[in-house]
Amino acid sequence: MRRKQHKARLLGKIALASVGLLALLGSQAGARPKAPAPQRPNFLIIVADDLGYSDVGSFGSEIRTPNLDRLAQSGVRLANFHTYAACSPTRAALLTGASPHNAGFGTMAGDWTPQTEGKRGYEAILTYRVATIADILGRAGYRTMLSGKWDMGGVRDPAYRPAARGFQQHFALIQGAGSHFDNKGVFPDIPTVNYVENDQDILPPADFYSSRTFTDKMIGYLGQGDQNKPFFAMLNFTAPHWPLQAPDQDIARQRGRYANGYEAIHAARLARQRRMGLVSRSQAAAPFDKDWPSWRDLPPDLRQLEARRMEIYAAMVSNMDQQIGRVIASLKAKGQLDNTVIIFMSDNGADGGNPLDFGGADWYRWAEKERDMRFDQMGRRGSHVWYGPQWAHVSNTPFRLGKGFATEGGTRVPFIVAGPGISGRNALSGAFTQVLDIVPTVLDYAGIPSPNGKFEGRPIERLEGTSLKPLLANPTMPALHSADSFFGWELWARRAGRQGDWKIVWQNPPWGPKERWALFNVAKDPAEQHDLSESHPDVARGMIARWDEWARQQGVVPIPYFPSDWSNVRTHFGWRPPHEKKFQVRSGINQTLQPKASTKLD
């Protein structure tokens, strides 16, 4: 009896165990396999330096940029994308999503006035009131890397260099400009510039050329580290910022292309822009400034000099495009291209100025002594070349003025984006967008929440932009920002404000009316030719009040006038390369070829 009871209990336990095992097996067999976590996208942001709106093929240029053109064909061009008027303010906004004044770049280093020196917002370094996108993504598991221009501070204090601002790997030019072939500076008071690699001061390699070396470093960084982690990369070219320099073979490819002069190239670019839909048939382009000579007014030697300057500029743009093609090919070879959002943009409009004008005759004498200014050496190692106001006007087709100004020519730049989640092929959007929108866009695609005013326990400025993701998914959207949104600009006392299609601009004379704002409808008049402030006084007053309120919120320090020669180009058409039989230095400026308000060289 006991045996039978024991056997029954034993069989019962076995049966229960079998039922439990079958239940377990059944639950495993019937369960759906766990879906893999969605792969977070990579990001590659490519920034050109002082590149004009029309300087790449997909925005109307004759310069060959096949790699950027293919990128545009596979993605979206933003035809109404805006930066700030100069490099440091734009780069601060691009890195942080905070306005330049909130990030510390209400002015450029060395440009303080008695009103701004020592004031909050005018530190001319990327302050710790902001966190960078590299900080945020790095904490979220991204590999972060930068190659190229930094210009955010750190010449003396390492706390403001890339390593301290979230970039795990970097090769960086700390200052804003330097020779493209070595570490020589561009000003007599900055004879050399600083390079750092992974927080170590270094000299550039012997075979250094900025665009190629920056690209070499970036390709190397992309292949290092944990390849299972997504990456955030910034490739910051210093092309085509002065001094204009390029490899001989790239310059040779441009020979003769600009012999027909400014007006012919400008007209051809404008015609291409109309065919592309970048400029409507009803919209006029800004005319050339009458204070500068036309091509037909130039003597033969100056035509040859001007054509060579533009050949070198075009060579720099072409070489940069070649390097971009190398990075894209590297991503494709690694199987990473399809999961990488690629953004290409310029930091501001093209620059018609000449750095030597900041120091007048003394700086010209320095350049002619310390740099090789001969015509036959233009564009080579040791040379110092700029290309002047008329070619800058061509680069900024169809807009008015360029770098340093709050006009469309100074702040509207080419923008191309392609990658996962980017809708359409060769799509074109005319919606107003701005550089402050980039950080929210990256965070949106990465699925990372906004810091919301605090990062790692410290308060930071809040993001001021709007994610581009809805627009990039549907480029036909008429607008990204609300009709009531107001956007402001201020640098060197030049300022602007925009709401919807209306824009107010304050420029110091001779570029604007004395001591008053001008009003434009930039939807109908993007070239800013027709001041409507008298015919629409209520609109003007309302816009000015909005700008004043914006300025108070941003901490803008009023400056009645900034005494700078920025883009004044006092000497451009009077200078000739020394030590040449064909090109002789002229004493002073040819009075028939100078702007009305210019002064002679000593």
What is the full DSSP assignment across 527-586?
T-----TTT-HHHHHHHHHHHHHHHHHHTPPP-S-----TTT-SSGGG---SS-SSS---
Helix locations, 203-299, DSSP H: 210-222, 248-252, 262-276
In angstroms, rounded to a whole number, what is the distance separating the alpha carbons of residues 601 and 361?
Answer: 6
Neighbours of 110 (CB within 10 A): 10
Amino acid at 81: F
Are 328 and 71 in contact, with CB atoms under 8 Å apart? yes
Does position 78 have pLDDT exceeding 50, yes or no? yes
Residue 222 neighbours by CB under 8 Å, 6+ apart: 145, 231, 233, 327, 330, 331, 334, 336
Residue 537 neighbours by CB under 8 Å, 6+ apart: none
Confidence of residue 587 (pLDDT cuts 50, 70, 90): very low
Q: Which residues of 180-189 are buried (b: 16+ CB within 10 A; e: fewer)?
A: bbbbbbbbee
> pLDDT digits over 513-567, tens only?
777 899 999 999 999 999 999 999 999 999 999 999 999 999 999 987 776 554 4
In angstroms, rounded to a whole number, what is the distance separating the alpha carbons of residues 119 and 106?
Answer: 10
Name the least confident of 130-134, 220-224, 248-252, 559-563: 559-563
What percentage of residues in the chain have a pLDDT greater than 90?
80
Burial of 486: CB neighbours in 10 Å, binned 0-12, 13-18, 19+? middle
Mean pLDDT of all residues in 115-122: 95
The SS3 of residue 236 is strand
Are 99 and 554 in contact, with CB atoms under 8 Å apart? yes
Q: Tell me the helix, strand and coil percentages in the chain, rounded to 5.
A: 35, 15, 50
Residue 20, both tokens: 């439990």
Confidence of residue 425 (pLDDT cuts 50, 70, 90): confident
| Cα four-point dihedral sign 16, 21, 24, 29 | negative
Tell me the domain boundaries of the chain.
Answer: 44-554
| Residue 179 CA, distance from chain mean position | 19
- Determine if the peptide bond prior to 510 is cis (ω within 30°): yes
Q: What is the pLDDT of residue 564?
A: 56
Q: What is the pLDDT of residue 560?
A: 78
Residue 283, both tokens: 């919209």
Q: What is the pLDDT of residue 517?
A: 96
Please give the CATH topology (third level) of the domain spanning 44-554.
Alkaline Phosphatase, subunit A (3.40.720)
What backbone phi and psi angles, to 5 degrees, belong to 180?
Answer: -90, -5
Confidence of residue 26 (pLDDT cuts 50, 70, 90): very low
Mean pLDDT of all residues in 124-141: 98
In angstroms, rounded to a whole number, what is the distance separating the alpha carbons of residues 390 and 393?
Answer: 5
Residue 269, both tokens: 């670019």
Give the length of the chain.
602
> pLDDT digits over 434-488, tens only?
999 999 999 999 999 999 899 999 999 999 999 999 999 999 999 999 999 999 9
Name the least confident of 188-197, 410-419, 519-528, 573-582: 573-582
Burial of 407: CB neighbours in 10 Å, binned 0-12, 13-18, 19+? buried
Residue 479, both tokens: 């607008």
Q: What is the pLDDT of residue 584?
A: 44
